[in-house]
Chain A
Amino acid sequence: MVESLFPSIENTSESSRRKKPRISETAEAEIEARRVNEESLKRWKTNRVQQIYACKLVEALRRVRQRSSTTSNNETDKLVSGAAREIRDTADRVLAASARGTTRWSRAILASRVRAKLKKHRKAKKSTGNCKSRKGLTETNRIKLPAVERKLKILGRLVPGCRKVSVPNLLDEATDYIAALEMQVRAMEALAELLTAAAPRTTLTGT
């Protein structure tokens, strides 16, 4: 029964996982929980997902380019780093979008941008656009947590939107996030390779 679910690498099966009852895990939920991790790994490896991601990435990057071209071109370093940050955010957003909102980190990424925009609109100068920058524990309250728990907290900080998440969910999110990041890296590498391959050709033909 579990094997029959594997070929369907659609994301709808992921969403059904979310609806498992809270109080007690049913037998189906247990099988689903087992399936979840294998699902998430397979999900980010399908060609279709990669195609979708690649297309959206290209489009978004083109839009970014248009936006950044309007800015001044004086400081190249700043421009590059600024553009790099924008590209990274764009890529993350596209990645989160292709997750179809089934995972916590994808929702957090998409939500953080909305939050940042709202804050920009509401207040003229607000430097808390980056939700990740939060003050840590105060020195007085810091008790030496056991090593595992400390590391789990660090992991929670790395995965966007997973700070106050329970341990099993955190591990699930981390699994999905790692798979998605791998896909993102592969896509961006391919894109960069293409552009570097295409660049000399276009410069030759263009100029």
Chain B
Amino acid sequence: MLEGLVSQESLSLNSMDMSVLERLKWVHQQQQQLQQVVSHSSNNSPELLQILQFHGSNNDELLESSFSQFQMLGSGFGPNYNMGFGPPHECISRTSSCHMEPVDTMEVLLKTGEETRAIALKNKRKPEVKTREEQKTEKKIKVEAETESSMKGKSNMGNTEASSDTSKETSKGASENQKLDYIHVRARRGQATDRHSLAERARREKISKKMKYLQDIVPGCNKVTGKAGMLDEIINYVQCLQRQVEFLSMKLAVLNPELELAVEDVSVKQFQAYFANVVASKQSIMVDVPLFPLDQQGSLDLSAINPNQTTSIEAPSASWETQSQSLYNTSSLGFHY
């Protein structure tokens, strides 16, 4: 019966398109259903008692306050786990094994506990059924969900407010109720849920995300782990690039006298060579020739190009040739691609 509950609802909720409100509605429904289920099966499930004990031993205020929530969801870890993180089949198997092996349940609990995020909101009853992508870098309390869920979850609220994290949180939540757009931060289970640590965590996640981007772009950064090593690589790379620029500028300084002589050839051939470099190293992209700044080329007399010049540089597309011909008004461009 549990599996049936889990499979049906969780599959439908795997899509990220569902709005939070819909998900909360679903969760509420689930809770109500599970409440009934739990009340029926509470006699037969010693693992639930273990769950209760497990939570009882935890000194976290948040968990104590959301005691009953976990009780309700003890058998419903499937959907929660499934919502954010796993394929439906996994959770079904987990819940099905719930009755057989209590030890397993504890492991499941621990695992899902690490992944389930306790909510650092004023209303700590309802589990937020957000996906992991949405949970990252979220900071403050979302108002709409709060008000909706508070209205729906009145039955569950009980005395949580009194024992909720801090009164300052509630006051802050109230003051921030006027603002609409917020970023959500979910405190992990067992971690502090006060304002500052949440902010710290969001900040750290932002920074680590940016470091990941840098890791992608700097070659050789994958081998090193840790911020210090990566920063070393990045600094090294930037210095390397700057040194390359200096070296090339020196080279161009020597070659500069030839710039004047080669001025007719330079621009057109340069871009072909450029394209060759680009094509060789990266994927070829369609040339955006109409955007070519012709005014800068006004001083160049391209008709002076030796029509017999041929380049062995491959251009990405043959249309470049036709477009360039029309642009430069030369009929006998001898470039071959």
Which residues of A are in contact with B by a Cβ distance under 8 Å? 24-28, 30, 33-34, 37-38, 41, 45-48, 50-52, 54-56, 58-59, 61-62, 64-65, 68, 80-81, 83-88, 91-92, 147-148, 151-152, 154-155, 158-159, 167-168, 171-172, 174-175, 177-179, 181-182, 184-196, 198-199, 202-203, 206
B262-306 to A contact mask, C-beta < 8 Å, 1/0: 110111011101110110011001111001110011000000000
Distance, CA A187 to CA B227, complexed state (A) = 31
Given A37-B213, A174-B234, A188-B245, answer yes or no on A61-B252 (Cβ-Cβ < 8 Å).
yes
Residues of A close to B126: CB separation below 8 A? none
In the complex formed, the residue of A with least CB distance to B288 is: A48
Residues of A close to B275: CB separation below 8 A? 47
A69 to chain B, nearest CB (A): 8
Given A59-B296, A147-B228, A168-B207, answer yes or no on A195-B217 (Cβ-Cβ < 8 Å).
no
Interface of A is mostly: helix
Given A24-B179, A179-B217, A195-B258, answer yes or no on A190-B273 (Cβ-Cβ < 8 Å).
yes
Chain B contact patch, size range: 35 or more
The answer to whether the Cβ of B232 comes within 8 Å of any Cβ in the partner chain is yes
In the complex formed, the residue of A with least CB distance to B268 is: A194
Are A52 and B261 in contact, with the CB atoms below 8 A? Answer: no
Are A151 and B232 in contact, with the CB atoms below 8 A? Answer: yes
Distance, CA A25 to CA B205, complexed state (A) = 14
Distance, CA A177 to CA B238, complexed state (A) = 9
Residues of B close to A151: CB separation below 8 A? 228, 231-232, 235
Q: 5 A-B Cβ contacts within 8 A?
A: A27-B181, A27-B182, A61-B252, A148-B227, A182-B241
B166 to chain A, nearest CB (A): 20
Residues of B194-231 at the interface with A, using a CB-CB cut-off of 8 Å, are 203, 206-207, 209-211, 213-214, 217-218, 227-228, 231
Which residues of B are in contact with A by a Cβ distance under 8 Å? 137, 139-140, 179, 181-183, 203, 206-207, 209-211, 213-214, 217-218, 227-228, 231-232, 234-235, 237-239, 241-242, 244-246, 248-263, 265-267, 269-271, 273-275, 277-278, 281-282, 285-288, 291-293, 296-297
B296 to chain A, nearest CB (A): 5
In the complex formed, the residue of A with least CB distance to B244 is: A185
Given A24-B183, A87-B252, answer yes or no on A41-B217 (Cβ-Cβ < 8 Å).
yes
Distance, CA A41 to CA B234, complexed state (A) = 15
Residues of B close to A195: CB separation below 8 A? 252, 255, 258-259, 262, 266
Distance, CA A83 to CA B250, complexed state (A) = 7
Given A47-B288, A198-B258, A202-B258, answer yes or no on A84-B231 (Cβ-Cβ < 8 Å).
no
Residues of A close to B246: CB separation below 8 A? 84, 88
Are B253 and A175 in contact, with the CB atoms below 8 A? Answer: no
In the complex formed, the residue of A with least CB distance to B239 is: A158
A7 to chain B, nearest CB (A): 11
Are A178 and B238 in contact, with the CB atoms below 8 A? Answer: yes
Distance, CA A46 to CA B286, complexed state (A) = 9
Residues of B close to A85: CB separation below 8 A? 249
Most buried by A among B265, B281, B282: B265
B38 to chain A, nearest CB (A): 35
Given A50-B278, A171-B211, answer yes or no on A55-B255 (Cβ-Cβ < 8 Å).
no
B291 to chain A, nearest CB (A): 6
Distance, CA A194 to CA B264, complexed state (A) = 12
Residues of A close to B277: CB separation below 8 A? 186, 189-190
In the complex formed, the residue of A with least CB distance to B260 is: A65
Q: Which residue of B140, B235, B239, B248 is within 8 Å of A189 (Cβ)?
A: B248
Are B248 and A188 in contact, with the CB atoms below 8 A? Answer: yes
Q: Which residue of A46, A80, A175 is within 8 Å of B250 (Cβ)?
A: A80
Distance, CA A59 to CA B270, complexed state (A) = 13
Residues of A close to B140: CB separation below 8 A? 24
A40 to chain B, nearest CB (A): 9
Give 8 nearest A-B pairs by CB, closest first. Answer: A83-B253, A88-B249, A26-B181, A84-B250, A151-B231, A198-B262, A171-B210, A37-B213
